[in-house]
Amino acid sequence: MNTMSLLKSLPLIVLVVYARLHGMTDIAWKNAFILAGITTFIVVPIQLYQKITMDRLMLGVNVFVLGIAVAFLGEMSKILSFCHTYKGAALLLCIAIVGITATLFTDAGFIDAEFIGQEYLRKKYSYILLGINIIAIIWSVLTTSKGFFVSIVIPFVILRVTYENLIKNESADK
């Protein structure tokens, strides 16, 4: 993992490592989200300043982490209850919000690859990724009772693999 990949993933790493080291209790998760939210406030401006391409999936994860941190700090019980009930779906929903916003309002789209002259493919792949993201949300809701791995890890990994393959396809189609 290079420095830029580490920087992009740092809030998620902080979240998981802190919670794991502190017993994954409710208080550990609360503190982990707050610490990861602070990390997000540091990492995203660094990425913007250094003009690092922002991975849309990790940006969605950062929105989720920051949103939960704010919900904990603001004691927003309805948001926290929703996220507690639909953990994976809440995360995937934040990624979808980033994807929809990027697809509709940026030239790079959800796929956010840096290939010039491929606007049609970039939009097409962005819509494919959004479709997979919506399926992942539905999967996560339907499998919430099956546990963390089935309802969160599997749909996120499928989304990540799809994202990486679409970027490879875009460069191959150029």
| Alpha-helical runs (H) found in 50-111 | 56-73, 77-85, 87-105
Nearest to 171 by CA among 125, 129, 115: 115
Q: What is the pLDDT of residue 37?
A: 96
pTM across the whole model: 0.88
Contact 95, 144 (CB under 8 A): no
DSSP string for 104-148: HH-SSTTTT---TT-HHHHHHHHHHHHHHHHHHHHHHHHTGGG-H
Contact 10, 61 (CB under 8 A): no
- Residue 172 scores a pLDDT above 80: no
Sign of the dihedral through C-alpha 56, 61, 62, 66: positive
Q: What is the pLDDT of residue 96?
A: 97
Beta carbons within 8 Å of 100's beta carbon, 6+ residues apart: 110, 130
Task: Quote the percentage of the chain above a pLDDT of 90.
Answer: 60
Distance CA 27, CA 47 (A): 30
pLDDT tens digits, 114-154:
655 677 888 889 999 999 999 999 999 999 999 889 999 99
Burial of residue 101 (CB within 10 Å: 0-12, 13-18, 19+) is middle
Mean per-residue pLDDT, 96-104: 94
